[in-house]
Amino acid sequence: MQKQPNRLWITALLIGWLFDFLFWKHAPGISFAIYAVITLAGGLILLWLDGIRPAGKTLVLLPLVLFFAAMTFIRMEPMSAFLAHAFTLFLMAGLAVTYRGGQWLRYSLADYFARGLDLFGSAVARPAMFAAESQHLKREAGGEEKRPNQVWPFVRGLLFAIPVVAFFAALLSSADLVFAQALGDLVKLFRLENLPEYIFRMIYIVALAYLLAGIYLHAAQRSGDEKLLGLEKPVVPRFLGFTEASMVLGSVVLLFAVFVAIQFRYFFGGQANIQIDGYTFAEYARRGFGELVTVAFFALLLFLGLSTITRRETTGQQKTFSALGIALVTLVAIMLVSAYQRLVLYETAYGFTRLRTYTHVFMVWVAVLLACVVALDLLKRQRAFAAAALLASLGFGLSLTLLNVDAFIFERNVLRFEQGQDLDIGYLASLSTDAVPAMVTLYQSQAVSATTRDHIGAALACLQAQADSRGDDSSWQSFHLSQSRAETSLRLVADNLRTYTVENKSWPVTVKTPLGEKFDCSSEIYD
């Protein structure tokens, strides 16, 4: 990039200005995906023009970036949207740090931490270093020869032009009222009261351009230098003796074995075997699943930590430690099954919510990660845990975004209702626009009962009232596919929803259905 430094600065400034254009006073929507793609494309083009090609393994990250970027304007449900934004940024950072090397699958946790700090340092310091180097090369190439000053003639010409243009603009404004109005709107843009805003926007555009330039420079200059930590010498030396580690791991395995034995007797034996004073079966299930998932998570950390710091000097010690690890994972897997069943029981009693759905998916990927940890220990590939954890995290994000959490919750809760359970209309009305197409489809279906249709319509009427009072940003930058699909679906049943009466003059907002039922549009369910 040293031969064409202006190309870097111009590209970074244009992308910095694009951020202002897409996000200033606009609600997030398709703008994030557009900005992510253009930022990525700008960097790839810059590097390609300089003859810097990406490593083959780095290209695997591109479709993942594009997938999660697209999900930012496809999913409105909070956790799915958060993961889509977070993984888009994380994977783009990964592209920058491994662009030329492509060894991201071989990174350890220490590598990820070190590369992240290195990227941050490059974003802060490398643009200034690059500018100084460019000036130095220009001086060495004879750039120190004095050139005619091009600034002052431009300034003098501007000063001469302003009064002339103002004179003719005044005459033209008198001649045409439409032109006068347009000119007045233009002049308003430069009113002094807007000056602080313009200064603030200019500062963050330049700051963002500076940081982007640093990231592009890092990809060009630093991403090929991927000296992996811990290959020649462990980052953390193995200081714990085999006996001590085995006692810790064996004690935990014994504790888990006793717990699982009790679980088989009471929990897995059926509801009739659980007799606990002061607790209902559903309350017993609720108190259990969160704790069991937490136990599984910390068991993973324990085994990983002991595997990293324990000395295993003989084949027998290695086999014993691995056997204890397999026993630990097996017992934790049984506990996860128990946690899953507890969660199912709790959902049967109280219905599906976002948090309970997140936990369902999370438990599956924790179990996969546990199995990977044991396999890596058997293969003596412990440093690959970071790659396994990354892939499990990506799997969790992919699963959640593809599932459509809110539509899933709606469908399961309606199924419970048709089986004789309660249906919380307020909670359905609190779901995002992701659920609306599924709601409308089922509302129009002839397969559901009149009572179910009446309840679904109540939730839709609440959602329609919320949308009418919200006043969403209508600019194209804020376009969101989930909202667009919801609006299209609601128009299909607009005539039906007029038969529902929404009372929103006081809190809580209520809705009265054609069958005479009355529901709150708010819910007290939070987990």
pLDDT tens digits, 49-97:
988 999 989 999 999 999 999 999 999 999 999 999 999 999 999 999 9
3-state secondary structure labels for all residues of 329-367: HHHHHHHHHHHHHHHHHHHHHHCCCHHHHHHHHHHHHHH
pLDDT computed for residue 195 by the predictor = 67
Eight-class DSSP state of 502 = E
pLDDT computed for residue 70 by the predictor = 95
Across all residues in the chain, what is the average pLDDT?
84
pLDDT computed for residue 273 by the predictor = 44
Distance CA 291, CA 258 (A): 16
List the single range of 144-153, 228-237, 347-356 with lowest mean pLDDT.
144-153
Specify which residues 510 forms β-bridges with.
Answer: 503, 520
pLDDT computed for residue 183 by the predictor = 75
Distance CA 234, CA 208 (A): 37
What does 58-83 look like in DSSP terms, one character per residue? Answer: GGGHHHHHHHHHHHTTT--SHHHHHH
Distance CA 260, CA 255 (A): 9
pLDDT (tens digit per residue) in 31-50: 999 999 999 999 999 999 98
pLDDT (tens digit per residue) in 444-482: 998 889 999 999 999 999 999 888 877 666 788 889 999
Tell me if 524 sits within 8 A of 475, measured CB to CB: no
Distance CA 106, CA 406 (A): 36
Higher pLDDT, 278 or 350: 350
Neighbours of 114 (CB within 10 A): 17
Interior angle at CA 433, CA 428 and CA 434, nearest 5: 90
Specify which residues 512 forms β-bridges with.
Answer: 501, 518
pTM of the model: 0.83
- Percentage of the chain beyond pLDDT 90 is 35
Nearest in space to 32 (alpha carbons), one of 91, 78, 86: 86
Distance CA 88, CA 94 (A): 10
Distance CA 95, CA 68 (A): 14
Rounded to an integer, the average pLDDT of 350-378 is 84
Higher pLDDT, 156 or 221: 221
Structure tokens at 367: 């179990």
Give the confidence band of 1 by pLDDT, cuts at 50, 70, 90. Answer: low
CA distances, 91 to each of 60, 352, 502 (Å): 10, 31, 45
Distance CA 396, CA 508 (A): 36
Structure tokens at 147: 């050139």
**Peptide bond preceding 127 in cis form (omega within 30 of 0):** no
Distance CA 313, CA 242 (A): 8
Neighbours of 235 (CB within 10 A): 15
Distance CA 475, CA 46 (A): 31
Which residue shows structure tokens 């001469």? 160
Eight-class DSSP state of 240 = B
**pLDDT at residue 514 above 70?**
yes
Distance CA 507, CA 526 (A): 19
Q: What are phi and psi of 200, to 5 degrees?
A: -60, -45
Q: What are phi and psi of 129, to 5 degrees?
A: -65, -40
Residues 6+ apart with CB under 8 A from 412: 347, 351, 352
List the single range of 39-43, 205-209, 259-263 with lowest mean pLDDT.
259-263
pLDDT computed for residue 38 by the predictor = 96
Structure tokens at 477: 């930058």
Strands (DSSP E) along 246-314, which ranges?
none
Residue type at 134?
S
Are β-strands 501-503 and 518-520 bridged in parallel, bridged antiparallel, or unpaired?
A: unpaired
Edge to edge, the sheet with strand 501-503 lists 501-503, 510-512, 518-520
pLDDT computed for residue 301 by the predictor = 84
